[in-house]
Chain A
């Protein structure tokens, strides 16, 4: 057989002949153009990234650094100097680039003619609006501005503009914290949101508050810091979740009290009564007398001992903190529930310690009653012109609110939406606003934090957009009003300029410094953390309140929980393929909507996962597939917001169902918020079934020890440590019996030991002298928020594949967060153990994928990275079949060409090859960033690459600080320091001898895990 053609020769011949065919196909018609700048901007060097500081436009106001290449924004990062974001932003922040390059943005101003919208010029649009406003003002009818979140300067401009035209402004937020704000006003007389210092607390109680799901980067980091084991291994905070359904936030808890929906207030008051001593409860002392642990047990369905134990621990904690219901828990008594938690905090001594009042935060807390009143005025015909900015009430309000009818009957409707949405679809005039990455502005989420928003690139030329501030100034000028500036840029600068009127040069210098840092003023007063403007005392509420369990509408047998989606929030982020294809952090489902139901409930009704069911309330019904979830009470079901758009671009329209269709308009009293946890529903099967578009294989580790844990009390006793999972010697022996795995001398599992003994030839002869790149991932810190996945897609040009392809298992994500249930019990209060595990290519030192590749497309670099050479890959997929971690993904169709319309391809990272069909790909450990750092180091006198200089996209996006990249061989590197821990293990290494370069640190639990659970 020595003369026979070998496998590799055969493939070589194939490769060569196809190359020949390609070459003859090349002709002069394929000449590529090389376009120089006309005038080179001095800050741009071709091939070198330019960074700009700016601010995200959500109410949290995270500071951003935006990476641009040749004038195009290609990646968003958190501004590490910013007190809120501290180097990370949330997943919507990373996905903001897809809204910037959204092909569904309007090409220019749109003017209605009958049923159609036609494109007009800006001059025409502004004159039309001016004329309409002029007519209506003359006729004595109102001009109304319905606005979502906006920065302080834009807010001031809107107010001045409305002052000129005698208009009125209405604030509207689909997701609003009005009950908390009202509760703070009632309790302390301060009409603001309090600041919860999660980071410094040692016992955290969340009463149905889903702060991670609502997108708070600061609180996500705070939870991670308070809840993970500190460096000394001595302290670890405790997190208890009290609520009917476990959100992403809830899944991080140590204990779950699956309370009756709406029973938060009674529990909080009973805990406070148990703790209160003498007159510590101030004016609430007599109220507390009427609430005992026994009452709370009845109201919540939780046994007395559990509640009493919790009260004792809360009382004993040095830095306790209780957080009241967020948007997913806004029932009919949500203000009372938030007030009850404030009382509990006050009684337990948390005020001024973990709860700070008077920080000046008021963002996104407008009551629903404001928009309800506006709807009434529109319906009465009092309003002639309505301008809608930064909000989509036609989608996000329940049908019963009457918004669509009232808005539809208003004679002139203007939308500032940059892309089509349900409200813009009804408008007579659309004046597309710029994306925030193309705009000037500012943000002031709280006292002490005032940041700059600046354009990071020229406006995307496909869309003739104009900043809303500039439009208002132009319209005001048409109406003969002078607002003191001709552009919004001037308007923004003016107050700062006035302060330095005597020193124009100094002002310019200072302004440049603002733009460089992204912040106004450098003394951030601790970033507004822990600032109490004045001592406050509990006071009697000036309104009557009901603390008892709320009633629920309807006669259904299941309570409906409607919560903001961690991906879409209230629905404003739905038209982004990154968001749609991102597996939901809880369900791991992509694209479509689902109804969560407890498996026990489903079994009792003969329902199975994937059954399409009709969910009906008195107010509407939707058909949606069922997903079985042990993390929800048996008497409740849950639906996420953000689906079921009827008019929001090519990806969101028709995708999923709109949970608001099931809700009545119930105005919570006294905050005026829209109640979301308010109705019961019936669930009946339609008889149809579908396959769920999930990336999840199993929610059970089946004792494989993939996501391992160790009990807190066992730390420091490594010789007798009971930790579950790792160490499968019996199974290993069993596999060996079948010839499966033959262990080799593996350096006793030393992660720096590479290459394998006997393999140190050729390129690998000196491999032990260079770095071995690797990761440390601390499972005790990871909260499962999934921002890393979006950041990875943005960084590495990972394509999305679409719902039908995900159903077929063809998703292409390089990084997924596995979620395993160890102990989830919705029947009574007990410990909770759910493990999140970020899983990417493990960069095995002894990689199963490598020997099976017939063309050497995957191999090991001397630096310990499992490399994938795209141009060598011929797509046999043997490697993926042999990968025990299922981290290799294959491009079945031309996802990068066909799925990505112009100009969304502008987002592509030019440093990373864009792969096409027939190619296998996977995590490269952000190889391009390593090369970039090496190039920089070489230019700087051939120095070594510094520790921390290279950061993977997942690392820099991790607000929980769970992921660290570095050289495993350098004992001083951060990654080496971290994995030098008794908690370190490597997934399946004991079983398969793969010697991964990715090292995990076990989750630490407060309960015993010796039984393997």
Chain B
């Protein structure tokens, strides 16, 4: 095949992008926040991780509309503050980052997070259809509950590559069931299911 080398080249570019992936851990300092480019050094692992001292929160506690909307939702600032009025952090680094939330609350401004996971505007991904059949968030987003400050995508995430979606639509993980209770063997690979 004449085009094999091209596909190889593309994979190479993707892997290079993956090298820059940062896996932070534990509490983050201001330096970590600025290195990640995020306005607040928000550690997903501290919130959702299951290690000792981590809080094992469900993803959908904060990403509240994943089960009922095309958008998973990001928590409003008031939701962060709802807990962090009380939870002030145990290290100076944590306290410093948590204090930033109050500034946003006080000024009535949104936290300008850098978006990490995004598929192209011409593709539509309805979260609820995927969540309600029993897919784990981690299937696409990777083990976000083990990551610190997110600045790059999980290398396993292939949302830029339609083949990655199609593979799963053709051979979904076992054990998925539709909302009417029937087992899911395949999802549609019709173009217009996502592109319209």
B182 engages A38 (CB within 8 Å): no
Interface residue ranges of A523-578 to B (CB < 8 Å): none
Pick 17 A–B contacts, CB within 8 A, sort by A: A9-B3, A13-B3, A16-B3, A16-B10, A19-B10, A24-B13, A32-B115, A33-B112, A34-B114, A35-B113, A38-B109, A40-B78, A47-B71, A48-B70, A867-B195, A871-B122, A931-B124
Q: List residues of chain A with CB within 8 A of the CB of B114.
A: 31-34
Tell me if A37 and B77 are in contact (CB < 8 A): yes
What residues of B have a CB within 8 angstroms of the CB of A870 in the complex?
A: 122, 195
Contacts of B196 in A (CB 8 A): 867, 912-913, 924, 927-928, 931
- Whether a CB of chain A sits under 8 angstroms from the CB of B69 is yes
Cβ B69 vs Cβ A16 within 8 A: no
B180 and A941 contacting across the interface, CB-CB below 8 Å: yes
In the complex, the 7 A-B pairs of residues with the closest C-beta atoms, listed nearest first = A942-B180, A47-B71, A47-B69, A37-B76, A40-B76, A927-B196, A867-B192
B2 touches A9 (CB 8 A): yes
Contacting pair B191 A869 (CB below 8 A): yes
Residue of B nearest to A929 (CB): B196
Chain A residues within 8 Å of B178, by CB: 938, 942
Contacts of A939 in B (CB 8 A): 68, 128, 132, 179
- Please name the residue on chain A nearest to B63 by beta carbon: A46
Q: Is the CB of A942 within 8 A of B13?
A: no
Shortest Cβ distance from B75 into A: residue: A36
For residue B156, CB closer than 8 A to chain A, the reply is no
| In the complex, chain B residues whose CB is within 8 Å of the CB of A865 | 192
A360 interface residue (CB < 8 Å to B): no
A871–B195 contact, CB under 8 A? yes
The proximity string for A residues 19-37 relative to B, scoring 1 for CB distances below 8 Å and 0 otherwise, is: 1100110001001111111
List residues of chain B with CB within 8 A of the CB of A32: 114-115, 118
Given A36-B113, A939-B179, 11 more pairs with CB closer than 8 A: A12-B3, A20-B6, A20-B10, A34-B112, A37-B78, A39-B76, A48-B68, A928-B196, A938-B128, A938-B132, A942-B179
B57 at the interface (CB under 8 A from A): no
CB distance from B56 to the nearest CB of A (A): 22
Number of interface residues of A (CB under 8 A): 50
- CB pair A17 B6 closer than 8 Å: yes
Give CA–CA (A550, B126) in the complex, Å: 66
Closest to B190 in A: A861
Q: In the complex, which residues of chain B have a beta carbon less than 8 angstroms from the beta carbon of A23? A: 13
B89 at the interface (CB under 8 A from A): no
Task: Please report A residues at the B interface, Cβ cutoff 8 Å.
Answer: 5, 9, 12-13, 16-17, 19-20, 23-24, 28, 31-40, 45-48, 763, 859, 861-862, 865, 867, 869-872, 911-914, 924, 927-928, 931, 935, 938-943
Q: Are B182 and A942 in contact (CB under 8 A)?
A: yes
Residues of B within 8 A of A924 (CB): 196
Within 8 Å of chain A (Cβ to Cβ): is B111? yes
**Residues A33 and B3 in contact, CB atoms below 8 Å apart:** no
Q: Is A13 touching B126 in the complex (CB atoms < 8 A)? A: no
How many residues of B are counted as interface, with CB atoms below 8 angstroms from the partner's CB atoms? Answer: 54
Indicate the member of A24, A32, A940 with the most B CB atoms within 10 Å.
A32
Given known A-B contacts A763-B189, A869-B195, A45 and B113 have beta carbons under 8 A apart: no
Residues of B129-187 whose CB lies within 8 A of A: 129, 132, 178-182
Q: Which residues of B contact A28 (CB under 8 A)?
A: 37
Main secondary structure of the interface of A (DSSP, over half): loop
Q: Does B120 contact A (CB under 8 A)?
A: yes
A938 contacts B129, C-beta separation under 8 Å = yes
A31 to B179, CA, bound (A): 36
Please give, as numbers and ranges, the residues of chain B lying within 8 Å of A31 by CB-CB distance: 37, 114-115
**Alpha-carbon gap, A914 to B108, bound state (A):** 31
- Within 8 Å CB of B180, what residues of A? 941-943
Q: Within 8 Å CB of A9, what residues of B? A: 2-3
**Docked-complex contact A869 and B192, CB < 8 angstroms:** yes
**A12 to B122 Cα, complex, angstroms:** 19
Beta-carbon contacts under 8 Å, B92-118 to A: 104-105, 108-115, 118
Nearest-CB residue, chain A, relative to B20: A28
Question: How near does chain A come to B177, taking the closest CB pair, in angstroms?
Answer: 10
In the complex, the answer to whether A935 meets B70 with C-beta atoms within 8 Å is yes
Complex-state Cα separation, A913 to B191, whole angstroms:
14
- For B179, give the chain A residue with the smallest CB separation: A942
User: With A862-B190, A867-B191, A927-B192 in contact, is A914–B132 under 8 Å at CB?
Assistant: no
Q: Mark B37-66, 1 if CB is under 8 A from A, else 0.
A: 100000000000000000000000000010
Smallest Cβ distance from B135 to chain A, in angstroms?
A: 13
- Give CA–CA (A961, B68) in the complex, Å: 33
**Contacting pair A46 B73 (CB below 8 A):** yes
Chain B residue, CB-CB nearest to A911: B124
> Does B15 touch A at the CB level, under 8 Å?
no
Bound together, the chains give a CA A834 to CA B182 distance in angstroms of 54
Of chain B, the residue at the smallest CB distance from A12 is B3
Q: Min CB distance, B117 to chain A, in Å? A: 9
Assembly CA distance A924 to B128 (angstroms): 23
Question: Which A residues touch B188, using CB under 8 A?
Answer: 763, 862
Alpha-carbon gap, A803 to B182, bound state (A): 55
What's the least CB distance linking B68 to chain A, in Å?
A: 7
Contact pick for A39, options B68, B78, B118, CB 8 Å: B78
Could you say which residues of chain B place their CB within 8 Å of the CB of A37? 76-78, 110
Q: How far is the CA of A869 from the CA of B108 in the complex (A)?
A: 41
Closest CB in chain B relative to A798 CB, distance in Å = 14
Q: Are A16 and B192 in contact (CB under 8 A)?
A: no
B9 touches A20 (CB 8 A): yes
Minimum CB–CB distance from B35 to chain A (whole Å) comes to: 12
Bound form: Cα–Cα A223–B70 in Å = 41
Residues of B within 8 A of A47 (CB): 65, 69-71, 73, 127
**Which among B9, B68, B115, B193 is the interface contact of A34 at CB below 8 angstroms?**
B115
Report the minimal beta-carbon distance from B185 to chain A, rounded to whole angstroms: 13
Cβ-defined contact, B71 with A13, below 8 A: no
Q: Is A935 a contact of B126 with CB atoms below 8 Å?
A: yes
Considering the chains assembled together, what is the distance between the CA atoms of A928 and B194 in angstroms?
10
By a CB distance below 8 angstroms, the chain A residues around B190 are 763, 861-862
Q: How far is the CA of A170 from the CA of B182 in the complex (A)?
A: 69
* Contact between B120 and A38, CB atoms less than 8 A apart: no
Residues of B within 8 A of A48 (CB): 65, 68-70
Contact B120 A871 (CB under 8 A): yes
Contacts of B68 in A (CB 8 A): 45, 48, 939
